[in-house]
């Protein structure tokens, strides 16, 4: 194999345009990703460079192969290190309402909002207090058009999210640590607190281990549950086009373009 054949073969594997398109679909685009792509091009040039032939006791072909393998191993390590530094957040949608899901260990105020000490994940949703806490009627829906009290629903999840909510849309996003810190802080500020700094528990949620809390934010049209999720994520560094985030389905569609769509909602209905 000559130099030109080697370059042509590697170039097919290192297609910058396809990599850029793939990363836009499945992950947040960062400077690390850019360095990863262009470093691969540098490895390609290094592997094809004539100077490698002068390494003692190493043939031209073997030298280029070693250079290529070492470079790719380094780039793979760098890429994985960048991915591991990000924090997962899921969007959970039932076609009408969308909640955020976090790993339980990532929520600094976990023990303040749930009595479950062994949850794997925590789903957090927001809505109009009267309609969200139910029962939902045409009157409560109509009331939700005008500014009224909001409420947060906290649902502990044990095991895989898709197993607990098999009829829901599920999208995985990866946030940078700084963006994730912003997101959990935004949600923390959404809780209404008393003068002595205690959260206001409104009662049991949809499940024995879930809870409703009063929110400091007002619910009104168009600031509805799905817009709340989109705005919180946008402030955390994952921008959404807000006019297209009004409905759960369109919000999930946007999120799937920024992350990975793990599950589509079925005929059943999950509540959270």
Tell me the pLDDT band of 2, cut-offs 50, 70 and 90. Answer: low
Min mean pLDDT across 133-137, 148-152, 196-200, 203-207 is at 133-137
Q: Which residues of 224-237 are buried (b: 16+ CB within 10 A; e: fewer)?
A: bbbbbbbebbeebe
Look at the block and give the residue holding tokens 């409905």: 247
Question: Which tens digit of pLDDT belongs to each residue from 74-129?
Answer: 445 444 445 558 999 999 999 999 999 999 999 999 999 998 889 999 999 999 99
Question: Which tens digit of pLDDT belongs to each residue from 245-255?
Answer: 999 999 999 99
Sheet holding 98-103, edge to edge: 201-204, 211-219, 148-157, 121-128, 98-103, 87-93, 169-175, 260-263
Pair 6, 47: CB distance under 8 Å: yes
34 has a pLDDT exceeding 60 = no
Report which of 128, 156, 102 is spatially closest to residue 272, judged by C-alpha positions. Answer: 156
Q: Identify the residue with better confidence: 58 or 102.
A: 102
Residue 134 burial (CB count, 10 A): 11
Tell me the pLDDT band of 262, cut-offs 50, 70 and 90. Answer: very high
């Amino acid at each position: 194999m000559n130099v030109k054949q080697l370059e042509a073969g590697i170039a097919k594997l290192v297609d910058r345009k396809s990599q850029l398109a793939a990363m836009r679909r499945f992950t947040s685009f960062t400077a690390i990703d850019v360095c990863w792509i262009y470093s691969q091009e540098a490895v390609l040039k290094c592997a094809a460079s004539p100077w490698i032939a002068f390494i003692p006791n190493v043939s031209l072909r073997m030298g280029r192969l070693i250079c290529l393998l070492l470079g790719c191993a380094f780039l793979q390590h760098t890429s994985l290190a960048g991915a591991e530094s990000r924090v997962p957040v899921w969007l959970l949608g039932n076609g009408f309402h969308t909640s955020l899901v976090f790993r339980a260990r990532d929520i600094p105020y976990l023990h303040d909002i749930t009595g479950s000490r062994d949850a794997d994940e925590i789903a957090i949703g927001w809505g109009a207090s009267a309609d969200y806490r139910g029962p939902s009627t045409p009157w409560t829906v109509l009331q939700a058009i005008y500014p009224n009290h909001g409420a947060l629903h906290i649902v502990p999840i044990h095991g895989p999210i898709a197993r607990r909510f098999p009829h829901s849309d599920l999208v995985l996003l990866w946030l940078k640590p700084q963006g994730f810190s912003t997101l959990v802080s935004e949600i923390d500020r959404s809780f209404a607190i008393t003068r002595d700094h205690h959260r206001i528990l409104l009662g049991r949620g949809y499940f024995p281990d879930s809870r409703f809390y009063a929110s400091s934010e007002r619910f009104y049209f168009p600031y509805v549950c799905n817009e709340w999720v989109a705005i919180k994520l946008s402030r955390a560094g994952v921008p959404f086009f807000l006019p297209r985030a009004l409905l759960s389905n369109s919000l999930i569609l946007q999120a799937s373009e920024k992350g990975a769509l793990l599950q589509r909602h079925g005929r059943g209905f999950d509540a959270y």
